[in-house]
Amino acid sequence: MPQYILALDQGTTSSRAILFDRQGQVVACAQQEYPQHFPQPGWVEHDPLDIWNSQLACARQVLREFNVSARQVAAIGIANQRETTVVWDRATGEPIARAIVWQDRRTAGACDRLREAGHARLVGRSTGLELDAYFSATKLQWLLENVPGARERAERGELCFGTIDSWLAYKLCGRHVTDVSNASRTMLYNIHSMRWDPALLDLFGVPSAMLPEVVRSSEQVGVVDAGWFGGPIPLSGIAGDQQAATFGQACYDKGMVKNTYGTGCFMLMHAGYVPPVSRNRLLATVGWKVDGRTDYMLEGSVFMAGATVQWLRDGLGIIKQSSDVEALATSVPDAGGVMLVPAFVGLGAPHWDPYARGTIVGMTRGTTAAHIARAAVEAIAYQSAELLAAMQKDAACPVREVRADGGAARNDLLMQFQADLLGVPVVRPAVTETTALGAAYLAGLAQGFWASREEIGALWRAQRRFEPAMGADLRAELRGRWARAVEHAKGWIEH
């Protein structure tokens, strides 16, 4: 009898594979970073073959090192970086160009022109999204217009478009599919009709022949080629990483909130079973579709969270590895008045300013590397506090707690400062790999490995609860100072 679920957690800077048991516990894990490409300021690219090769290597490593055969694995689930856009040859499976990453801002000008022409309302009404370069549609449009022959080949049906889940599913089992959660992030999918939207395809010039089939988040969509892992394994769970993390955090009821502290920072609130409408520039997005029911979310996106710590490591060289940041930041009692706004690729919700740029204010001759490190950690919390404030306005319901996950959720300094800024408890679960766990749960549900959401919800456990300890006056003062710093970062690039 199969004993495990294998989750493929394909992230922005690394690929991981995690093996889970029936209790939702991590049995084994492997991770590989892969190259990031920055060909021009504001451009971010990945080689799709680097993504595939690193993901395949991780999965094989997990199975080999733990001596697990394919027949012991009930299913594979995929959680993936969202919006990153891949186009490949349908016959050969070869990408026609590097993938354009969700962080990439090259199409900001195209979005401006569409907005000026009055198309933002159509996009928002149909997709629940902002008309922004963050999403896939203008990235795909750019590839069709800038890769020689791409548009003609796409119209002939020779090319496939997909987000990273589609790319991995195609490589694993030869099917061209995406799930509803990833489709809802392309700016081409209507979250009311649950179909690719003809008006949006026409607006962005996307041939329908290159679109993937949209499937449920939990269903068997194919069988992985036996050659990859020594035997066939069902592929039966797919979700964008943030939706997968929300599912892994057992946020199954309206008003529950999770925040993932990864490369970016993504806060999702369960909004019920009809598409929500945000009046505070949050996104309405599909959470998942399971057993015929679609769950919707309100989402706020921060583009630079853990990536800010990577910048301290790689750009400034003030830490040797990302995990060193907590010790450096806690070596000083506070940030010494320094505010770091990590708008390196613009600002996400609730500002949506692609022309903002990274800014440090408040430095003096006494400012040290430790103060900058602390300001970088605190910046993650400030950005997330803005998101929760917007969510509470939209949802008009009190938030009892925020469930935290992702790599930076292990940072106690960050978690406590986050609770202080929010004024509500932040809860870190016993299993912080909730993105992969959500993909595993979705895959396992489809195969009967777990019987129901109720069974899964009962597996969730808190590891630590961070209670707010900051006074209301200081909280208001700090958040006001942050708002001033953000204003300095906005609109820095002329356009």
- Annotated binding-site residues for ADP read 12, 16, 263, 306, 407, 411
For residue 196, what are the β-bridge partners? 189
CB 381 within 8 A of CB 227: no
Cα(220)–Cα(238) distance, rounded to whole angstroms? 10
Query: Would you call 89 helix, strand, or coil by DSSP?
Result: strand
The dihedrals phi and psi of 303, each to the nearest 5 degrees, come to: -80, -30
DSSP three-state, residue 288: strand
The candidate with the shortest Cα–Cα distance to 183, out of 222, 154, 143, 216, is 216
Complete DSSP assignment for 132-198: -TTSHHHHHHHHHHHSTTHHHHHHTT-EEEE-HHHHHHHHHHS--EEEHHHHTTTTSEETTTTEE-H
In angstroms, rounded to a whole number, what is the distance separating the alpha carbons of residues 179 and 476? 41
Locate all alpha helices (DSSP H) within 29-135, ordered by sequence. 48-65, 108-116, 120-127
User: Residue positions in the annotated binding site for ATP?
Assistant: 12-14, 263, 306, 310, 407
Binding residues for glycerol are 82-83, 134, 241-242
User: In 3-state terms, what secondary structure has residue 16?
Assistant: strand
Q: How far is Cα 184 from Cα 194, in angstroms, rounded to an integer?
A: 9
**Shortest CA distance to 163 belongs to which of 80, 225, 219, 233?**
80
Q: Which residues are annotated as a binding site?
A: 12-14, 16, 82-83, 134, 241-242, 263, 306, 310, 407, 411
Q: Which of 51, 46, 77, 74 is nearest to 179 (CA)?
A: 77
Tokens for 54?
Answer: 């690193």
The three-state DSSP-derived secondary structure of 338-404 is CEEECCECEECCCCCECCCCCEEECCCCCCCHHHHHHHHHHHHHHHHHHHHHHHHHHHCCCCCCEEE
230-254 in b/e form (b: 16+ CB < 10 A) is eebbbbbbbbbbbbbbbbbbbbbee
**Count of C-beta atoms within a 10 Å radius of residue 201:** 16
Q: Which residues are annotated as a binding site for sn-glycerol 3-phosphate?
A: 12, 82-83, 134, 241
Residues 6 or more apart from 479 whose CB is under 8 A from it? 382, 385, 421
Please give the DSSP secondary-structure letter assigned to residue 314.
I
